[in-house]
Amino acid sequence: MGNSIFKGLVVALCLSAASSLSALAAEPAKVTLAFIGVTASNWPGLVAQEKGFFRDEGIDVDWLQSGQSSKSAQQVAAGVADIGSSSMVDTFRAIDGGGDLTIFANSLSQGIYSLVAKPSVHSIQDLKGQRVIVGGQKDITALWWNAAAKHFNMDPDKDVELLFAGSTSNRFAALMSGGVDAAVIGAPTNFNAIDKGFTDLGPIASYMGDFPMMIYHANTAWATKNKDKLVAFVKAHNRAVRYMLDPNNKQEVAEILAKASNADVKDCLRTLDMAIAAHAFVPDGGITPAALEHVQSTLADSGDLQKPLKPLSAFYDPKYVEAAAK
């Protein structure tokens, strides 16, 4: 009798331990993500979070708002966050300066930004002698403006008075107050200005050609030990992009961004249309060699990268995207 009770207890304990281990195994792995703030550039990640795609791949993403693209890169390089969302140019500069970072996926291949001007301006050429505001001297928005101005045979620095403000909200406020005559404004805020009668001079990022705006990067040492987590992130992200591109999900996708950013659903729908038209979201998360070369040559020409130039493999490692596609 006593022996049977003992055996029963042992079996029960074993089953309990097995159940506990199974529960632990099923618990998603924590991954910390440093991001600038809730914008359309993080849209696939927001969809993946809301729809449970990250958890389906076995990871739990903890979002840490940094406030700035360069700060996201700094936090990841320092090991404060595992992965981060930053502009391509800020990440290239950080890696070139010795930052312990690896780009592992494309987040936004084209910026969803418009050049918006006061009502009396009807073309980019009309901006000669006017005040134009961009994000900063080294900002991606400044590169877009340079490319747009040169496309219309204008000198981007001498033909206008160039001013700077780091955020879309500040540039929007400057335009609304009359402090500037044109501003580079991100969606969906650009639609707010357009609906007030300001002139939409069109998407501005396209003047740069194949030049990714936002990417995901990881701490290099962490990435080496956590390939499975990065592959899981890319799989969930790509699933979210495919979900976003399905016309049947358009309303829900817009509502996800509206809820996260306190934006109007109508403007989020217009933003999605703008993004799809620009092929802003990449279904496989990859970055082409041509795009990498374009980024490197542009930054090298502006004196932002040290010479001799690093190989492109020092910036981007495609193995995570490739593994996610299998």
Query: How confident is the model over 110-126, as pLDDT tens digits?
Result: 999 999 999 999 999 99
Alpha-carbon span 261 to 234, nearest angstrom: 23
Task: Quote the pLDDT of residue 14.
Answer: 55
Judge whether 26-109+212-324 and 113-208 match in fold: yes
Alpha-carbon span 15 to 19, nearest angstrom: 6
Tell me how many degrees the CA angle 62-261-77 measures, rounded to the nearest 5: 40
Per-residue b or e along 51-84, where b marks 16 or more CB atoms closer than 10 Å to that residue's CB: bebbeebbbebeebebebbbbbbbbbbeebbbbb
Q: Is the peptide bond before 188 cis (omega within 30 degrees of 0)?
A: yes
How, if at all, do strands 101-108 and 214-219 pair? antiparallel
113-208 fold = D-Maltodextrin-Binding Protein; domain 2 (3.40.190)
Amino acid at 130: Q
**3-state secondary structure string, the chain?**
CHHHHHHHHHHHHHHHHHHHHHHHHHCCEEEEEEECCCCHHHHHHHHHHHCCHHHHCCEEEEEEECCCHHHHHHHHHCCCCCEEEEEHHHHHHHHHCCCCEEEEEEEECCCCEEEEECCCCCCHHHHCCCEEEECCCCCHHHHHHHHHHHHCCCCCCCCCEEEECCCHHHHHHHHHHCCCCEEEEECCHHHHHHHCCCEEEEECHHHHCCCCCEEEEEEHHHHHHCHHHHHHHHHHHHHHHHHHHCHHHHHHHHHHHHHHHCCCHHHHHHHHHHHHHCCCCCCCCCCCHHHHHHHHHHHHHCCCCCCCCCCHHHCECCHHHHHHCC
Query: How confident is the model over 145-204, as pLDDT tens digits?
Result: 999 999 999 999 999 999 999 788 899 999 999 999 999 999 989 999 999 999 999 999
Task: Quote the pLDDT of residue 3.
Answer: 56
Task: Say if residues 216 and 54 touch (Cβ distance below 8 Å).
Answer: no
The residues, any chain, with a CB within 8 Å of residue 129's CB and separated by 6 or more, are: 159, 160, 161
Tokens of 38: 């809730």
Give burial (CB, 10 Å; 0-12/13-18/19+) of 42: buried
Task: Quote the pLDDT of residue 20.
Answer: 47
pTM over 0.85: yes
Alpha-carbon span 173 to 182, nearest angstrom: 11
Tokens of 256: 């996800």
Query: How confident is the model over 277-286, as pLDDT tens digits?
Result: 999 999 999 9
Tokens of 120: 């009396």
Mean pLDDT of 287-302: 96
Q: Where are the domains of the chain?
A: 26-109+212-324, 113-208
Task: Quote the pLDDT of residue 25.
Answer: 52
Task: Say if residues 83 and 32 touch (Cβ distance below 8 Å).
Answer: yes
Task: Quote the pLDDT of residue 23.
Answer: 41
Alpha-carbon span 269 to 258, nearest angstrom: 9
CATH node for 26-109+212-324: 3.40.190.10
Could you tell me the sign of the dihedral formed by the alpha carbons of 131, 197, 140, 148, in that order? negative
Query: How confident is the model over 6-44, as pLDDT tens digits?
Result: 455 444 545 555 444 444 456 999 999 999 888 888 999
Please provide the average confidence, as pLDDT, over all residues in the chain.
92
Tokens of 33: 């993500």
